[in-house]
Amino acid sequence: MATSSVQSPAVGSFTEAAFHAHLARVAHLPAWWLDRKKAAFARFAALPMPARTNEGWRFSNIGSLTLDGFAVPDGPAPRPATHAEVGIDGLGHLIFANNRLSTRGELAADAASQGVIFSTLQEALVRHEALVREHLLTQPSKLGSEKFAALHEAFLEDGAFVYIPKNVTLRLPVGVFHYACGPNTAVFPHTLVVAGENAKATVVDFFRSDFPAAAGASAPPLDASPQFACGGNDLHAGHGAQLTYVATQEWSRATLSFQFNATVARRDARVVSVNLHAGARQARHESYSQLQAPGAHSEMLALTIAHGAQEFDQRTLQIHQAPNTSSNLLYKNALLDQAKTVFSGLIVVDPDAQKTDAYQSNRNLMLSDDAEAHSLPGLEIQANDVRCTHGATSARIPAEQEFYLQSRGIAKAQADELLVFGFFEEVLGKIDNENLHDILSGLIRRKFKE
Amino acid sequence: MKPPSEIEAPEIENPVAGIDQSAGDFKYDVKYDFDAGTGLTENTIRYISSVKKEEPWLLDFRLKAYKTFLEKPLPTHWATKDLENINFDKIRYYLSQGQKPKRTWDEVPADIKKTFERLGIPEQERKFLAGVEAQFDSEAAYSNIKEAVAKQGVIFVNSTEGLREHPEIFRKWFGKVIPTGDNKFSALNSAVFSGGSFIYVPPGVKVSHPLQAYFRINAENFGQFERTLIIADEGAEVVYMEGCTAPKFSTSTLHSAVVELVALKGAKIQYITVQNWAPNVYNLVTKRGLAHEEAEIKWIDCNIGSRLTMKYPGVVLKGRKARGEVISIALANDGQHQDTGAKMIHAADETTSTVVSKSISVGQGRATYRGQVHIPRHLKGCKNNTECDALLINTNSRTDTYPAITVRGDKNATQHEASVSKVSEDMIFYMQQRGLSEAQAMSLAVNGFINDLARQFPMEYSVELKRLIDLEMEGSVG
């Protein structure tokens, strides 16, 4: 095969020197973790940037994937000036800023006494090394971002570790805040959740940018301050575990963001993940779900509000590896202005995974004549006794519905907002926790006011 | 109810070795007067061009295409690696007994005539066709159009004749719908094409009966590269059908056609394919239509044979209110990969397109749907509806779906749905309980699955299709 133009591997700001400076910063670095980070950096440095012919990047804008001009922050974690409570009483939380722990709010006493661990990865590497080693970044990157996943592993400094022991139910959600403070900052957030047999928990990630206003000056406009975020999460649900994971992504509008998810569901486990995408200039989200044992279920939900010239690129893979597993994917995008979305999903049913029930759906709501939606819903089925369906639609708000609301005296802008909420409610309705539901709808409302 | 001891042992899964390949699986020895030899070089192309007595521009066109072919990589970054098994140096690119087709069956050389008689072509022609072209390896051996149709001004000739005798009509559109560099195989076709139909239907003429072309590969290691161009002038209507067979050889054979359709304002073209190549044939075909204002192009594409088929009939909807439709039926048996689909490019307001695809995977067969729907910026009132259903017969059958849908703007609507299922046990049980054998029940269920599509075929083809599926399904359940 003729390769006319070989893409040269680029490291941008993430040079060998930056890597060594990062290693020097990490307080606790067991030998195995150091080896893996070194290997990851070598992979990152050797792999080429995505090329146009790469199917995993079809329709994505690869010209704007620059790694230049960013800096891995040094020094202690700042206190995010813009941090505000989210409105959940008694929420155990960790606040990370620029890759380090800034402040924390401990779990309720009963949870801690039941053996729940809610700590930083750095602490966990000291006290629960075996658990971390078994689950941290153990699933391969399969959706096209091998280079950036390696970058994440190489530069990962700290993140959250949540462990729920067998038969324990965590009553309240736990929240993890990841802040990128200041312009040109590069962050590598990570959340690792391990739910033991029949454990039950809800974990929420908040991704936010923070620009402290200099004395006398107002904060710089969000669009003018680029940042780089390259994060990941590992969700491991043991037999019969029920895990809910919610993430809200509100990076600054000039951020380049990568987010990698790996979910493993064991026998009769149930994992629900909800991703709300609102921020960044260009955001790529890769989600890889493995249903490894009978009865496992994965619910993959996402809401995206794409504004301005934002690009959201979502790639998913649902692998059914055992019989009697089910998965349900629903990704809803609302597109305004000149925004662009790409959804590329794949359901894989292995030859032995009979009685699989898999669903995949991508709905694009077109709210502007300049918006652009790409949908690539894929199936690869190798077992015959399955129920697999997928659907993709792209359309505007139905004129009759708009007309109906207007005929009741509701202005067009408001009517549209209502209809968009109706569009998203199908996903929001799947969140049991009322507080969380309110947080997400509040965020959507704010985004529409922008 | 039989005592347990009498219950027959389950049959081995998938004993079906290719469909009614029996119908096409025979070969007569034929002496070729023209043979471009094995392998592909510039000289092969010069040879083909000179025996066809082509004008210099056409030779230039071919040589340029050859360069493009060499430059283009195989599309294995998305397509199956099986493509790498094609040995372009082992293929014979041109074989014929002469370049001028005969107008009556009596004139056709006996050895070739025998082939087509056995395939039933002359009989079909008498019964329901307005014209027939029968291609044997590289050239048409027979070509005839009914007098009444010819009198209306309809031109139905092979590609060599079309470019030589009607350049004013055909040169304008030749290679315009599918440019040489569209893909590696369209470039290959442009370099070495021979045979295929050139059809022109004058304004307002509605050809009452279908025109048919039949493609036969007779020689081993042969590559057939026919080129078809159909132009329906304003308000004209035409139905074109093609069938194809080849004997089963132990080595692979390549069929790589380019088919271009042009439907001018208000014209309608329906293109029906029943592909029944032997299971050693690589069938890599580029098919695309250009639909002008209010024109309609409909591809009915049925793939049953071949080792690997890669074919995605497309319609470029260029004029307002143009309509495109693809109806695709694919049946993949052991050792077969049917990689089929559709492409709909909306380039004008209020254009609509529909894709309905049904595939059946039997044994270790693999059926793939690959589709593209493209609605670029600032159009309004465009609509696409795509449905793909896959049926898996055996536990190790495989099916894939890879659609790509792009929509820009808020004045268009697309909808895509796909489902994968097996034949329901209840259904089979019900039929067995009414006295049908399991195989009969399965056959009936499969026929029911494609029935609404099969009905859109002309009667004769529809019956034939059902029969082929019955044969294919035979013994596939155990």
- The string of pLDDT tens digits covering residues A125-160 is 999 999 999 999 999 999 999 999 999 999 999 999
Contact A378 B403 (CB under 8 A): yes
Confidence band, pLDDT 50/70/90 cuts, at residue B10: very low
Residues of B in contact with A367 (CB under 8 A): 410
B410 touches chain A (CB under 8 A): yes
Residue B2 is predicted with a pLDDT of 40
- A68: tokens are 């230049």
From B414's Cα to the closest Cα of chain A, the distance in A is: 5
Q: Would you kindly state where each structural domain of chain B is located, as residue ranges?
A: 13-311, 426-478
Query: Is residue B191 within a helix (H) or strand (E), and if so which, with residue range?
Result: helix B184-192
**Predicted confidence (pLDDT) per residue in B399-452, tens digit:** 999 999 999 998 999 999 999 988 888 988 999 999 998 888 888 888 888 888
In this prediction, residues B266-282 reach a mean pLDDT of 92
Write a three-state SS string for chain A: CCCCCCCCCCCCCCCHHHHHHHHHHCCCCCHHHHHHHHHHHHHHHHCCCCCCCCHHHCCCCCCCCCCCCCECCCCCCCCCCCCCCCCCCCCEEEEEECCEEEEEECCCHHHHHCCCEEEEHHHHHHHCHHHHHHHCCCCCCCCCCHHHHHHHHHHCCCCEEEEECCCCECCCCEEEEEEEECCCEEECCEEEEEECCCCEEEEEEEEEEECCCCCCCCCCCHHHCCCEEEEEEEEEECCCCEEEEEEEEECCCCCEEEEEEEEEECCCCEEEEEEEECCCCEEEEEEEEEECCCCCEEEEEEEEEECCCCEEEEEEEEEECCCCCEEEEEEEEEECCCCEEEEEEEEEECCCCCCCEEEEEEEEEECCCCCEEEEEEEEEECCCCCEEEEEEEEECCCHHHHHHHHHCCCCHHHHHHHHHHHHHHHHHCCCCCHHHHHHHHHHHHHHHHC
Residue A378 is predicted with a pLDDT of 93
Contact A373 B407 (CB under 8 A): yes
B22 touches chain A (CB under 8 A): no
pLDDT for B11 beyond 80: no
Per the CB < 8 A criterion, the answer to whether B288 and B269 are in contact is no
In this prediction, residues B46-68 reach a mean pLDDT of 95
Residues of B in contact with A381 (CB under 8 A): 390, 392, 398-400, 420
Output B473 or B19, whichever has higher pLDDT: B473
Residue A143 is predicted with a pLDDT of 95
B79 touches chain A (CB under 8 A): no
A residues 311..370 contacting B (CB < 8 A): 351, 354, 364, 366-370
Residues of B in contact with A327 (CB under 8 A): none
B360 touches chain A (CB under 8 A): no
Measured between CA atoms, the residue of chain A closest to residue B72 is A2
pLDDT for B6 beyond 60: no
Contact A391 B407 (CB under 8 A): no
What is the rounded average pLDDT for all residues in chain A? 92
Residue B390 is predicted with a pLDDT of 94
**Predicted confidence (pLDDT) per residue in A296-348, tens digit:** 999 999 999 999 999 999 999 999 999 999 999 999 999 999 999 999 999 99
Confidence band, pLDDT 50/70/90 cuts, at residue B125: confident
> Which residues 6+ apart lie within 8 Å of B210 measured at CB?
B128, B129, B130, B239, B240, B241, B272, B458
Question: What is the pTM assigned to this prediction?
Answer: 0.89
Helices (H), B326-384: none
**Predicted confidence (pLDDT) per residue in B346-382, tens digit:** 999 999 999 999 999 988 999 999 999 999 878 999 9
Confidence band, pLDDT 50/70/90 cuts, at residue B477: low
In this prediction, residues A97-107 reach a mean pLDDT of 94
Least trusted range by pLDDT, from A148-157, A394-403, B278-287? A394-403
Identify the three-state secondary structure at position B286: strand
Contact B420 A364 (CB under 8 A): no
Residue B141 is predicted with a pLDDT of 82
Contact A366 B402 (CB under 8 A): no
- Radius of gyration over every alpha carbon of chain A, rounded to an integer in angstroms: 21
B408 touches chain A (CB under 8 A): yes
Residue B220 is predicted with a pLDDT of 86
State percent of chain A over pLDDT 70.
Answer: 95
In this prediction, residues A85-114 reach a mean pLDDT of 89
Least trusted range by pLDDT, from A240-249, B135-144, B270-279? B135-144
A414 touches chain B (CB under 8 A): no
In this prediction, residues A361-388 reach a mean pLDDT of 93
Identify the three-state secondary structure at position B170: helix
Query: Is residue B56 within a helix (H) or strand (E), and if so which, with residue range?
Result: helix B56-71
Residues of A in contact with B69 (CB under 8 A): none
Per the CB < 8 A criterion, the answer to whether A116 and A92 are in contact is no
Measured between CA atoms, the residue of chain B closest to residue A363 is B415
From B342's Cα to the closest Cα of chain A, the distance in A is: 14
Identify the three-state secondary structure at position B461: helix
Residue A397 is predicted with a pLDDT of 85
Mutate to test the interface with A, among B366, B414, B425, B476 (most CBs of A within 10 A): B414
Contact B395 A351 (CB under 8 A): yes
Closest partner residue to A380 (CB to CB) among B394, B400, B414 is B400
State percent of chain B over pLDDT 90.
Answer: 58
From B372's Cα to the closest Cα of chain A, the distance in A is: 9
What is the rounded average pLDDT for all residues in chain B? 88
Residues of A in contact with B417 (CB under 8 A): 389-391
Output A16 or A225, whichever has higher pLDDT: A16
Residues of A in contact with B422 (CB under 8 A): 384-386
Residues of B in contact with A54 (CB under 8 A): 77
Residues of B in contact with A343 (CB under 8 A): none
Residue A224 is predicted with a pLDDT of 66
Residue A202 is predicted with a pLDDT of 95
Residues of A in contact with B411 (CB under 8 A): 369, 396
**Predicted confidence (pLDDT) per residue in A44-92, tens digit:** 999 999 998 888 999 999 999 999 999 999 989 999 988 888 877 778 9
pLDDT for A353 beyond 60: yes
pLDDT for B228 beyond 90: yes
